[in-house]
């Protein structure tokens, strides 16, 4: 008995729009991880006293800013692809589906009309 599904390779075509977005998002996520690591190192340096407090704060704040910026960019890239794919398919994107309830707990009028 042969299992043909075992020989299939599950790779995404990076030449497609969603493939490029996945690659871009993964690079931003890696940059965010580097920033989070720098934040952790800055905090460790600050609390152990192994470096000057100004240097430790600079490393920590810089890492926190990098992590926040990079993770938001990664999220924005994926949401942009979700929105463009949904526009092509004529359906609601997952990003829009997550926004059906506002901060105050009230559904927007467009979401109320749909469901």
Q: DSSP of 30-80, one letter per residue?
A: HHHHHHHHHHHHHHHHHHHTSS-HHHHHHHHHHHHHHHHHHHHHHHHHHHH
Distances 76 to 45, 57, 79, 81, 102 between C-alpha atoms, Å: 32, 28, 5, 9, 19
Q: How many CB atoms lie within 10 A of CB 97?
A: 12
User: Looking at residue 39, what is its pLDDT?
Assistant: 97
Whether 13 is in a domain gets the answer no
Predicted confidence (pLDDT) per residue in 10-42, tens digit = 555 666 777 788 889 999 999 999 999 999 999
Examine residue 103 and state whether it is found in any structural domain, yes or no. Answer: yes
Examine residue 88 and state whether it is found in any structural domain, yes or no: yes
- Total number of domains constituting the chain: 1
Question: Is 23 a domain residue?
Answer: yes
Average pLDDT for consecutive 10-residue bins of the chain (115 residues)?
58 70 91 97 94 95 97 91 68 54 55 51
Q: Which domain holds residue 110?
A: 18-114
* pLDDT score of 27: 94
Within a domain: 10 = no
**pLDDT score of 87:** 63
pLDDT of residue 52: 94
């Amino acid at each position: 008995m042969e299992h043909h599904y075992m020989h299939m390779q599950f790779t995404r075509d990076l030449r497609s729009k969603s493939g490029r977005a996945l690659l871009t998002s993964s690079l931003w996520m890696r940059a965010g991880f580097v920033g989070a690591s720098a934040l952790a190192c800055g905090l460790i340096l600050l609390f152990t006293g192994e470096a000057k407090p100004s240097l430790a704060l600079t490393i920590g704040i810089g890492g926190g800013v990098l992590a926040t910026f990079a993770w938001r960019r990664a999220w924005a890239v994926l949401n942009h692809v979700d929105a463009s794919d949904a526009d092509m398919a004529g359906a609601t994107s997952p990003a829009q589906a997550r926004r059906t309830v506002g901060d105050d707990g009230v559904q927007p009028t467009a979401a109320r009309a749909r469901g």
